């Protein structure tokens, strides 16, 4: 189990950004499996005494991303993260379905009121 608790505050308030040649921020999309593997790698380095700034630079993410990942994925195994993402997608699909049905229902009620 990943343990992202404890003192995770950066030693200095600096952070670094990944910037392309045009000076634009580069956004990398990581799968939950990749995120958990990076958190495991970070935990190993943290236990060896590395600072958060060094760790985030080695795993290729910003301090903010590291803390966000710890909050979202800390303590999860890869299978759990996959299941979480599947459930989030299903939840989103069902919310859209409910919204569509609610709209249809409201339209039908309005039409029924107009016919009476």
pLDDT in tens, 65-113: 999 999 988 888 888 888 988 999 999 999 999 999 999 999 999 999 8
Residue 61 is predicted with a pLDDT of: 92
Distance between CA 108 and CA 84 in Å, rounded?
Answer: 36
Distance between CA 69 and CA 27 in Å, rounded?
Answer: 15
Distance between CA 108 and CA 112 in Å, rounded?
Answer: 6
Residue 88 is predicted with a pLDDT of: 93
Element containing residue 70 per DSSP (H, E): helix 63-73
Distance between CA 34 and CA 40 in Å, rounded?
Answer: 10
- CA-CA distances (angstroms) from residue 12 to 19, 52, 53, 54? 21, 9, 8, 11
**Stated pTM of the model:** 0.56
């Amino acid at each position: 189990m990943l343990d992202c608790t404890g003192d995770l505050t950066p030693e200095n308030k600096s952070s670094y950004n990944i910037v392309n040649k045009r000076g634009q921020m580069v956004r990398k999309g990581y799968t939950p499996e990749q995120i958990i593997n990076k958190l495991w790698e970070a935990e190993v380095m943290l236990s060896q005494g590395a600072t958060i700034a060094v760790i985030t630079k080695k795993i290729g993410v910003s301090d903010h991303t590291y803390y966000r990942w710890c909050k979202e994925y800390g303590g999860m195994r890869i299978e759990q993260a996959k299941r979480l993402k599947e459930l989030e997608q299903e939840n989103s699909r069902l919310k859209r379905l409910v919204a569509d049905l609610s709209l249809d229902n409201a339209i039908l009620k309005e039409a029924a009121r107009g016919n009476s």
